[in-house]
Amino acid sequence: MSIRTYGDEVLRRPAMEVDAIDRRVKDECTKMVEEMLRANGVGIAAPQVGISKRIFILDVDERFQVLINPEIVEVSEDAEEIDEACLSLPGISGPVVRKKWVRVRGLDLDGRPVEVEGEGLLARAIQHEMDHLDGILFIDHLSPARRSSLLKELRRQERAEA
Ligand code: NI
């Protein structure tokens, strides 16, 4: 398993709710953690490893959390625009407006309800990973002109690596 990149259709598919947290789901979470750590990410969503399920993992500052079937339940009115990147869009970044503070609710690996709330990078990571579960990538939030120039840059880097 490795990280799926732009152009892979699994990244565009709305992910399915998890109905049972069984051995298989736990194994999939382990693989997600491995890929996230290998790539030095602050978060990863299941579709990024080819699994179309509503699961993401956060690893921001001291906060490590698996969230299954997450829902954002509260957001601040205030928003801020900060450069954002994504493991599935390697080598590019762009300014995305996100809520400054959010609260997300989901289940942990034992099926217990869990809430995470925070601001700054944590809030941004939560919103970014939630988007992945709906097939949305950070570039979708940019202007068409900026998006197309970033995608051009992405293709240029892919050619350089090939
Ligand atoms: Ni991402």
Q: Is 129 part of the annotated catalytic residue set?
A: yes
Residue written as token pair 């995305």: 96
In terms of Cβ atoms closer than 10 Å to its own Cβ (0-12, 13-18, 19+), residue 15 is: buried
Q: What is the mean pLDDT of each run of 10 residues along the chain (162 residues)?
A: 92 98 97 95 97 97 94 98 96 97 98 96 97 98 96 92 79
pLDDT of 111 reads 97
- Rounded to the nearest angstrom, the gap between the alpha carbon of residue 56 and the centroid of all alpha carbons in its chain is 7
pLDDT of 60 reads 95
pLDDT tens digits, 14-27: 999 999 999 999 99
d(CA 147, CA 127): 19
Topology adopted by domain 9-161: Peptide Deformylase (3.90.45)
3 state SS of 66: strand
Q: Ligand 1 centre and the CA of 129: distance in Å?
A: 6
d(CA 45, CA 92): 18
Catalytic residue among 28, 35, 84, 129: 129
- Alpha helical stretches, state H, the chain: 23-39, 120-133, 144-161
pLDDT of 1 reads 59
Q: Ligand 1 centre and the CA of 89: distance in Å?
A: 7
pLDDT of 115 reads 97
pLDDT of 94 reads 97
pTM of this structure:
0.96
Give the start-to-end residue ranges of the domains of the chain: 9-161
Residue type, 79: A
Say how many C-beta atoms besides its own lie within 10 A of residue 3's C-beta: 19
Tell how strand 63-75 and strand 43-45 pair up.
unpaired
Give 72-105 as a DSSP string. Answer: EEEE-S-EEEEEE--TTSTT--EEEEEESEEEEE
Q: Ligand 1 centre and the CA of 28: distance in Å?
A: 17
